[in-house]
């Protein structure tokens, strides 16, 4: 079964750091571009960051540029999101998502991990 499983969320103080992980199973991660998408409580979806299949290209939303870093370890079938200088407005459920091989939709999503930034 194709599956994505996020971990690493939790409560962190403003200015703190957190690293999210996304473990892939049932498929070969190295064949797919991946992204992180977040959803603040009661709000809509926001694309956060993306990475090419090889890891050679990374992309960020303006709201997180310079603070978040996306990476992947294809040998471990795992995607990461390093989040630094966290702000209250970063509070959200963070989903990892797999991009379709052909096309630009996200055809597989994890269950999400909640990040709460609060003092």
Partner 1 sequence: QSALTQPASVSGSPGQSITISCTGTSSDVGGYNYVSWYQQHPGKAPKLMIYDVSNRPSGVSNRFSGSKSGNTASLTISGLQAEDEADYYCSSYTSSSPYVFGPGTKVTVL
The footprint of partner 1 (CB under 8 A) covers 35, 37, 44-47, 50, 59, 61-62, 95, 97, 100, 103-107, 109-112
Distance CA 90, CA 56 (A): 26
Cβ of residue 119: shortest distance to partner 1, in angstroms? 27
Cβ 115 vs Cβ 16: under 8 Å = no
Cβ of residue 106: shortest distance to partner 1, in angstroms? 6
The nearer residue to partner 1, 83 or 96, going by C-beta atoms, is 96
Cβ 54 vs Cβ 86: under 8 Å = no
Distance CA 43, CA 3 (A): 25
The nearer residue to partner 1, 17 or 101, going by C-beta atoms, is 101
The nearer residue to partner 1, 29 or 97, going by C-beta atoms, is 97
Cβ of residue 61: shortest distance to partner 1, in angstroms? 7
Nearest residue to 14 (alpha-carbon basis) of 83, 86, 63: 86
């Amino acid at each position: 079964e194709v599956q994505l499983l996020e971990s690493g969320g939790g409560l962190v103080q403003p200015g703190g750091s957190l690293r999210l992980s996304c473990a892939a199973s049932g498929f070969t991660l190295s064949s797919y571009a991946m992204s992180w998408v977040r959803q603040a409580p009661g709000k809509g979806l926001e694309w956060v960051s993306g990475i090419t299949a090889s890891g050679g290209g990374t992309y960020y939303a303006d709201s997180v540029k310079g603070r978040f870093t996306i990476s992947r370890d294809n040998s471990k079938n795992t995607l990461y999101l390093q989040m630094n200088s966290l702000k209250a407005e970063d509070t959200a459920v963070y989903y990892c998502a797999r991009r379709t091989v052909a096309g630009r939709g996200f055809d597989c999503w994890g269950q999400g991990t909640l990040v709460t930034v609060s003092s």
